[in-house]
Structure 1
Amino acid sequence: MKRPNGYALIILIFSTILTCSCNGKIDMNEKLSNNRHTENERITFKEGKKIKELLFNFNKLKLPNEDRRFVQIELNSKFKLGGVNNELLLTPSFVKVDKNKNIYVLDNIDSSVKKFDNMGHYVEKYGKKGAGPGEFERAWNFDVSVDGVTVISSPNNNKFAVFDRDEIIEFKPIDMAINLCFTTTGEVLIFQIADLINKSPFRRIDYKKDIIIEYQNILKTKKNEGMLPFLMGDVHRYRDNNIVYISQIMGYIVIYDDDGKIVSVFRLIDKVVHSGLTKREEKIAGFSSPLVRFPREDEYLFFVSNIFEDNLYILKNNEKTDSNEYIIDIYSLSEAGYKYSLLLKTLGEIKSVYFTSTNLYVVKANTEVEVFEYNILEKAI
């Protein structure tokens, strides 16, 4: 399985830099503290031939020590969208839904998001290829609010556009948005990795009033190490205007409150970080590269994630297995821990998935999106 959008991100980021020179209180398993004697989480990495260390703005975490517990899932196919004999979807990559179960599909090459009703009938599309308002050189990522307002980002154009009924509102952040999501109050949270010392990776933007709120930085350092691509990850809204960041390389799950402060941090169950310099961390940079290189496909722990209600769903990277079997890990955000895993088989090559409490939306490599009703059986496979 190839990660949606692939390595074009490397070219996107460097070209943009050159041209521009997500009810209730969260229970914390890992207590956060300002105690000066508390050891911070840290990571070592290579920049060229130099070994460097970064401190994070949260306490040192326990290493994961859980085995996957697989439970059965029953799937009932409802309908399909697109496919090789249908030109409606050219290159679907991600799918999301609103509160009415309308379906939104990002079509990268068409630089648009296409909307379908909850029965699979095409409704309309947002965005198109071009350079005008609401147009993109290439649509990169998107999000949909519960009410169906859509935001699309384009790093090539260094902008995002919000489609709210008949209104299109564009905003150009100073730093390119690698990822973004709506907050529960309708603002846009962007995630950038170009300058992580002078600025936080996470910034909440009121695009109507041109107000920017900077979140607490995940790093605790004053030295500018340049772009740090091993911080690549997803961002999602969660409950009372909380935002969740999930690291695709290091496996951190960081939850922010509505004031932009870190309130909870825990790990994916994948065993990634050990004491000293790990093999994975050593691969982060090439021997002669002056910059920290972008991770390879097989270095991503997962390719796609989504949050629905209290659950975090992770589509695991199966790049090393070369099979069409896919693992879904499910975590509870309020309990800050792992719940169980699912195994998806016989669905063909999968690009991405999106879970609600009752439906599973699968984006396939054959340009098809299949919608299933599902039932999880609390019975080990």
Structure 2
Amino acid sequence: MTTTSIPAIATKRIAKSRISEVDFNNLEFGKYISDHMLMVDYVNGKWQEPSILPFGDIMMSPAMLSLHYGQSVFEGMKAFRNKNGDICIFRPQKHSERLNKSLARMCMPEIPEELFIQSLHAIVETDESWIPTSEGASLYIRPVVFAYEPRLGVKIADHFKFFVLTSPAGAYFSKPTRLKVEETFVRAAEGGTGFAKCAGNYGGAFYPTQVARQEGFDQVLWTDAKEHKYIDEAGVMNVMFVIDGKVITPKLTTALLDGVTRDTIIKLAPSLGMTVEERRVSVAEIEEAFKKGTLTEAFGAGTAAVVSPIAAINIHGVDYTVPTVTSNSFQQRAKEKLNNIRLGFEPDVHGWNYIIPAAR
């Protein structure tokens, strides 16, 4: 999908760019925020006109409702330079759809897809010089919506703010992770907000993750809230397994985030000769597959790394080692295909890429 122009958005440019302060050879995730931010207010029952401002602090009341009652939702995606030098934003329509599902669950006003995509286009184009060009690097995009109304009474806010920030991000070269199957703490329960990308889900996961790290693990492998028998997610990613030559992943419920990368890999699997099963996946099944040697891959799927190889999973106190990833592993082939589509080396038959043409 290519758009050559969008409606003009009121823009106040920064007096002096901060880009010279950025070490593009060492891009710690989220450390640097680009020069500008896009802002839209929701007042009087509708979203107002967006504006672009220099990135900086905003005025807020200590009584702001999002601070007290948690009405805060965000998204995360990336923009790249493709092989032609054009800017590619990957699957913004899917992110718009997920954001609106999250907003609806949190009793927050949905954002029209047109406004959402125009906002992404405008802020990325404004700070396009911040897009890294090194292999594997990208411009991370963070849309966030929160209640802005100052009130101590428990209520649904009437005033919201929608911001879009961007941040240059380097290649993700994390080592394979060690996971612990969580049998005590709960990330989300069915009927709750687990499927929504709201701030509270992440805050609530900090302590169990901290405990797991103190025990020598990188993340927890969340299980269902009722019985701790079925696998939900891996840390901040969806989880996938290759068992008996098939890709197995937990089916979506109201307790799981509908990951865009997860959905992408599922759609790409047939072209890579793989069958996908979306269903309940029990801890016992995974343990048995380890013992039989039929589990050949386990990996997380998310925006940051596309795929994050899993080195070991601790089940009931026992460490099970996952086979080492090779160039022929499904996860590696899926990652390469996805990156090739984003960068224009393979045809985008699904229409996933939103292209902002480079100035010629």
TM-score by length of 2: 0.26
Q: Decide which structure has the larger Cα Rg and report it.
A: 2
Q: Which one has the bigger helix percentage?
A: 2
